[in-house]
Structure 1
Amino acid sequence: MSPVPAGCARRLRHHYGSAVDTWIAHVPRQIDDACREWGLRFVSYHDHGHASAIAVVHDAAGTPRIVKAWPETARFRAETAALTHWYDAGVVLATITESSIALLRMIGGQPGGHPVPAGHESGVATAIRDLHARPLRAGNPSTYLQLSQYLTDTVRPRIARRMESPLACPLATRVYNALARGLPASMRGPTLLHGDLYRENALFDQRGVPLLVDPLPMIGDPIFDWAFWVVYYDLRARTEERLALAETASQIDRHHILFWCLMLCLDGLLYFRETQDSRATTMAEVLERILTLRLVAA
């Protein structure tokens, strides 16, 4: 079986470091073994994503499916558990725990889903609301990270570290000071969050219905997902339109959503500046706009 595409290998190394090289070398054999176990025919790799290897396969009836393999068992468990929680048996069709491989439904009949329909952001807002509405079930609490732990152990320390360096431009300092009193709660109960609501993680079926895939699931306040979606779903456009959709769909106060948007924008701006990413300019523009919107909403 052919090795994973060079682009996939490059992204995996960027995400996990050189320690992933051994896994990259062995995963084609694991995917081949999974195909034999499930009676599938390998077609090609789908050169996409940063934390897994993805293959397009056909079952005995010629139906296209996806086989996805993860280097991290914890990530495999969390992602497949979340997708099963939200979509029952509609997305995750089978798993092999020993090799962290899953057989997934092909959404929209092709890798990456059906072409994006007009008015797709309204549909995605409804999809986010529906995910949050699924009651949390009893289970192994260690399957998912807690949002509060993620913020305490990861987000706040890296913001503080970067704020002590030349990365702390006047705009970043202004936002950092605005966040000093902490983040407001949405007054909603904790739910299972998607945690990674970028545009490429919303796949559309042939009816134009979005399914939200590739999560980084956490348990916590739904306001995090709404703010992430407002900022990152399309960093260059329609921020205010998504804010309005988020406020309507979630029934969370706009001012509170904007406060969380500030935190996510600050974290992103400092990262882009540290990595000399050209998106730093765009993020600064988004951050300025959110500051203005927050003043209007106050």
Structure 2
Amino acid sequence: MTARSLGSVLPGARDRLLAHYGPGAGEWLDAAPQLLEEAAERWKLTLRGYYDAGHSSVVAVARDSQDTPVLLKAWYESSRYRDEVTALRLWGGGPTADVIESADDLSVASMELVGGRPGGTARPEREVQMVAAVIQGLHAVGAKQGRPALPRLGDHLQHTVLPRVARRVVTLDLGRREWLVREAMPELQALRESPARTTVLHADLYRENVIFDARRNARLIDPHPMVGDAVYDWAFWSVYYDLGQATFHRMAIASRISRIPVPEISAWCRAVALDGLLYYTEIGDEAQELAADVLVALMASGLEG
């Protein structure tokens, strides 16, 4: 397959981006193949085909002039492109995927293909402990970066999370879960960051965003980066890395390696679980049941922040 014959975006990717961004993304999705093909021609890459993954970008696999496989990624949002490329370059050489080339005019980047194939290699047995160590290492690097040009967690909470939670509480039919949401609301409103823990956050630590290279080392991909308190990443990872499974186990590992007290992590876990529960409820996702169960367990744990 040449740089000029990639073809239409795969239906799965198209559906995910339309669900995430709305019908306004349709025109961009029609143009995305040409953006990838232009980038491939610019960087002398040969396109091999799409990789059907992600909710904010269209991804393809290509090979360079040395026949090395690389990933090409085109973002719908130029701000998301800039933030992700900025963060990955700040973490360059660390446990992430390296950016090889980037094109600001296209919002396209070529990136290291971790493990030589989409999705990386098989996961090791001690996956959770290895991932926790990598998150801590990423935070250590991020803490040394001064004030990079990335969004702030505090702004995200104040201007995005709190308003959308308030809107959903008013507009959604919460039914039997209304009491749970009402009980958890003060947890979100009471969150306070610790400046001493400020770092560059990955902020999207779902399991699919952690893959393994040929040496079975964990690599963090697809960040939604922000600058803020490291506790946010630990809470997000504890809740969403495997929603509904081993939440308190991950929380204990997070506390042990980060030295953030479990009650502090738990308070942030309750907040991110509430936000997720309302999101899943709004879109009618079955994950709302798991998110509700997690939030109930967190509220009943007695771990006060």
SS in 2 for 1:196: coil
> What is the distance in 1 between the residues matched to 2:244 and 2:287?
9
Equivalent positions of 1:230-249 (< 5 A) are 230-249=238-257
Match of 2:154 among 148, 158, 161: 148
What is the aligned partner in structure 1 of residue 184 from structure 2?
Answer: 175
Partner Cα separation in structure 2 for residue 61 and residue 113 of structure 1? 20
- Rounded Cα–Cα distance in structure 2 between residues aligned with 1:238 and 1:137: 32
Does residue 115 of structure 2 align to residue 108 of structure 1?
A: yes
Any idea what SS the aligned residue of 2:120 has?
Answer: coil
In structure 1, C-alpha distance between the alignment counterparts of 2:215 and 2:144, rounded to whole Å:
28
| Displacement after TM superposition at 1:184 (Å) | 4.3
Q: TM-score, normalised by structure 2?
A: 0.91
**Aligned residue in 1 for 2:224:** 216
SS in 2 for 1:25: helix
* CA shift for structure 1 position 275: 2.3
2:109 is matched by which residue type in structure 1? A
What code does the residue aligned with 1:111 have?
P
1:47 aligns with 2:55: no
The corresponding residue for 1:87 is 92
Query: Partner of 1:283 in structure 2?
Result: 291
Instruction: Give the gaps of 5 or more residues in structure 1.
Output: none
CA positional deviation for 1:118? 0.9
Q: Does 1:194 align with 2:194?
A: no
Residue 4 of structure 1 pairs with residue 9 of structure 2: yes
Quote the Cα distance in structure 2 between the aligned partners of 1:24 and 1:179: 36
Structure 2 CA distance for partners of 1:15 and 1:275, relative to 1, 3 Å: closer
**What SS does the aligned partner of 1:260 have?**
helix
**Gaps in structure 2 of 5+ consecutive residues:** none
Decide whether the 8 Å contact of 1:127 with 1:210 is kept in 2.
yes
Q: Identity rate of aligned residues, in percent? A: 38
1:228 to 2:236 alignment: yes
266, 269, 274: which is aligned to 1:261? 269
**Match of 1:196, as an amino acid?**
D
How many angstroms does 1:261 deviate by?
A: 0.5
Please provide the CA RMSD for this pair.
1.8
The answer on whether the counterparts of 2:266 and 2:303 sit within 8 Å (CA) in structure 1 is no
Question: Is residue 2:21 matched to residue 1:16?
Answer: yes
Give the Cα separation in 2 of the matches to 1:213 and 1:178.
Answer: 29
Which of 134, 137, 145 is equivalent to 2:145?
137
Within 2, Cα distance between the matches of 1:269 and 1:16?
A: 19
How many residue pairs match? The answer is: 294
- Show the counterpart of 1:72: 77
**Residues 224 and 178 of structure 1, relative CA distance in 2, 3 Å threshold:** closer
Answer with 241-250 or 86-95: which moved more.
86-95
Worse overlay, 39-48 or 267-276 = 267-276
